[in-house]
Structure 1
Amino acid sequence: MRIASLGSGSRGNGTLVKFEDSLVLIDCGFSLKETERRLDRHGVSAQQLDAIVVTHEHSDHCSGVGRLSRRYQIPVYMSHGTYVSERCSDVHEYRMVCSEKPFMVGELELTPVAVPHDAREPCQFVIAAGGLRFGLLTDLGSVSALVRQYFSGLHGLLLEANHDTELLQAGSYPPSLKRRVAGDWGHLNNHQAGHFLGTIDHEHLQHVVIAHISEKNNHPSAVLAALEPHFGRSEELLWANQEEGFDWISLH
């Protein structure tokens, strides 16, 4: 299984997951032209995509879904709540997903997992193929028992460490936005991410990618300081940034 990112952050997200000839794009928060450019950077053309999978309707995850889907006639998988939000309903073909009910796209088995986030029906995903399991886990304000259940025992994990609590509170965001980001339905802070890593089975993790990092309210040094007490393999961490995402990594 191979994974790459088009970019990760509040200005756009997109993650590629590939196994043999099956290829999906999870989220598309970029314009059509920018998406094509970022796909090309990873050696991918949009015609190769078997599906687009949408985690939720916030613009940094779905703003480019409709045009990409219609231009290349790509089916789009999302929850009913995400679809009826009408923020990404103008797609070539809509296919509904439900939490904890796996579905297949080619050789890839995707399991949606409901998460606490301020959207209509947000899901994150565990993707399995060839005996390997990869989890994509961003855009949640707290870690539920359901999340711990499904995101334990993975071979690869893309994990949100959105903000440092002190930087967020001292920053320029208005109080309402600070409350939203830091709340149970907002985004994981560094310490929440670290504690989550420390409490799940991470014995088989080959890659941990830290993602959805705030450009204003976080810093890699703050992330490392929070994660190291819980995850002693900090030298193995990878980083997904806004401009470049990350290049292809492989799970074996």
Structure 2
Amino acid sequence: MRFASLGSGSQGNATLVNTEETLILVDCGFPRRETERRLQRLNVAAEDIDAIIVTHEHGDHSGGVASFSRHYKTPVYCTHGTAASGRLSGVFQQVLINAGDDFTIGSIHVLAVPVPHDAREPVQFRFEAAGGILGLLTDLGSITPHLVEAFSGCDALLLEFNHELELLMQGSYPASLKRRVAGDFGHLNNNQARELLQRLDNHRLKVLVAGHLSLKNNSKEHALAALAAAASHHQAAVHLACQDSGFEWLSVSGNAGFALAEAVSA
């Protein structure tokens, strides 16, 4: 199993999860034409995507889902709450799930993990295939014992390092937005992400990607400092996802068979 990103951040998110038999797109926060362009960079044909699974209804995760689904006749998996938001109206085929459900798409087993975020029924996902485990965990404002349990034991993990709290509080956002981002149902800051890493069982962890970095309230240097502080709790190869180009294909097993991501927009 391998994974790659079309882009990660508040301007749009989309992640690919792939085995030899199955290709899943997690979220599609870019317009269809832009999604197609980004897929070409990864040598992926849009028509080869077997399913789209959606974490929640916010536009940077769902904005391009309906158009893409209709055009390529791609089924869409989402929670009842996400569907009720109306943001996915008109998809080709909708498969409703509940937070906490596990299901299978082709050769990939998927667990939908509920997360604390200000959306209707938000989830993040844990994938298992061919003995490998991948966790995708962004868009959450606080750490719960359930999350620690669900994302322990991963071979690869994409984890949110959204903001540096001091930069957020000193920045230009209005006070209401600062409270939302920093709140228990907002986004993880660098210190929270570091704490979560320290609480996870990372004995299998080989690949760690810091994602969903804020372009205004974070930097490569701040995120790397937080990652370094948690380094004693894992021996994983570390990468940073960026908004403009995400990251190239990474193997869940940590082998060097795929190109690796190295930079993030500051």
Superposed CA offset, 1:148-168 (max 9, x none): 111001000000000000000
Contact kept, 8 Å, 2:137 with 2:157, in 1: the verdict is: yes
Unaligned stretches of 5+ in structure 1?
A: none
CA RMSD of aligned residues (A): 1.1
What residue in structure 2 maps to residue 14 of structure 1?
Answer: 14
Task: Report the TM-score, using the length of structure 2 for normalisation.
Answer: 0.93
- Return the offset for 1:101: 1.8
What residue in structure 1 maps to residue 128 of structure 2?
Answer: 128
What residue in structure 2 maps to residue 99 of structure 1?
Answer: 99
What is the CA–CA distance in structure 2 between the aligned matches of 1:61 and 1:234, rounded to whole Å?
30
Seen in structure 2, the aligned counterparts of structure 1 residues 235 and 150 have a Cα distance that, compared at 3 Å, is closer
* AA partner of residue 70 (structure 1): R
**For residues 78-117 of structure 1, what are the structure 2 equivalents within 5 Å?**
78-117=78-117
**For residues 204-219 of structure 1, what are the structure 2 equivalents within 5 Å?**
204-219=204-219
Superposed CA offset, 1:193-234 (max 9, x none): 001001111111110000000000001211122232222368
Contact kept, 8 Å, 2:206 with 2:235, in 1: the verdict is: no
- Return the offset for 1:18: 0.3
Contact kept, 8 Å, 1:194 with 1:231, in 2: the verdict is: no
Q: Does 1:5 align with 2:5?
A: yes
Matched residue of 1:241: which SS? Answer: coil
What is the CA–CA distance in structure 1 between the aligned matches of 2:236 and 2:83, rounded to whole Å?
40
Superposed CA offset, 1:101-160 (max 9, x none): 211110001100000000000000000001111000000000111111110010000000
Superposed CA offset, 1:47-75 (max 9, x none): 10010000000000000000000000000
**For residues 182-221 of structure 1, what are the structure 2 equivalents within 5 Å?**
182-221=182-221
What is the CA–CA distance in structure 2 between the aligned matches of 1:48 and 1:184, rounded to whole Å?
38
What is the CA–CA distance in structure 2 between the aligned matches of 1:229 and 1:193, rounded to whole Å?
11
Task: Report the TM-score, using the length of structure 1 for normalisation.
Answer: 0.98
- Return the offset for 1:235: 7.9
- Return the offset for 1:46: 1.0
* AA partner of residue 65 (structure 1): V
Seen in structure 2, the aligned counterparts of structure 1 residues 179 and 211 have a Cα distance that, compared at 3 Å, is same
What is the CA–CA distance in structure 1 between the aligned matches of 2:222 and 2:235, rounded to whole Å?
12
What is the CA–CA distance in structure 1 between the aligned matches of 2:105 and 2:235, rounded to whole Å?
33
What residue in structure 1 maps to residue 27 of structure 2?
Answer: 27
What residue in structure 2 maps to residue 64 of structure 1?
Answer: 64
**For residues 28-47 of structure 1, what are the structure 2 equivalents within 5 Å?**
28-47=28-47
Contact kept, 8 Å, 2:208 with 2:236, in 1: the verdict is: no
Contact kept, 8 Å, 1:10 with 1:212, in 2: the verdict is: yes
Seen in structure 2, the aligned counterparts of structure 1 residues 177 and 234 have a Cα distance that, compared at 3 Å, is farther
What is the CA–CA distance in structure 1 between the aligned matches of 2:76 and 2:240, rounded to whole Å?
27
Matched residue of 1:194: which SS? Answer: helix
Superposed CA offset, 1:13-49 (max 9, x none): 0000001120000000001100000011101111100
What is the CA–CA distance in structure 2 between the aligned matches of 1:11 and 1:182, rounded to whole Å?
18
* AA partner of residue 191 (structure 2): H
Matched residue of 1:228: which SS? Answer: helix
What is the CA–CA distance in structure 2 between the aligned matches of 1:71 and 1:171, rounded to whole Å?
40
Q: Does 1:239 align with 2:240?
A: yes
What is the CA–CA distance in structure 2 between the aligned matches of 1:89 and 1:138, rounded to whole Å?
24
Q: How many residues align?
A: 252
Contact kept, 8 Å, 1:195 with 1:227, in 2: the verdict is: no
What is the CA–CA distance in structure 2 between the aligned matches of 1:109 and 1:162, rounded to whole Å?
27
What is the CA–CA distance in structure 2 between the aligned matches of 1:118 and 1:227, rounded to whole Å?
26
Identity %: 51
**For residues 121-200 of structure 1, what are the structure 2 equivalents within 5 Å?**
121-200=121-200
Contact kept, 8 Å, 1:228 with 1:234, in 2: the verdict is: no
Unaligned stretches of 5+ in structure 2?
A: 254-266
Contact kept, 8 Å, 1:42 with 1:248, in 2: the verdict is: yes
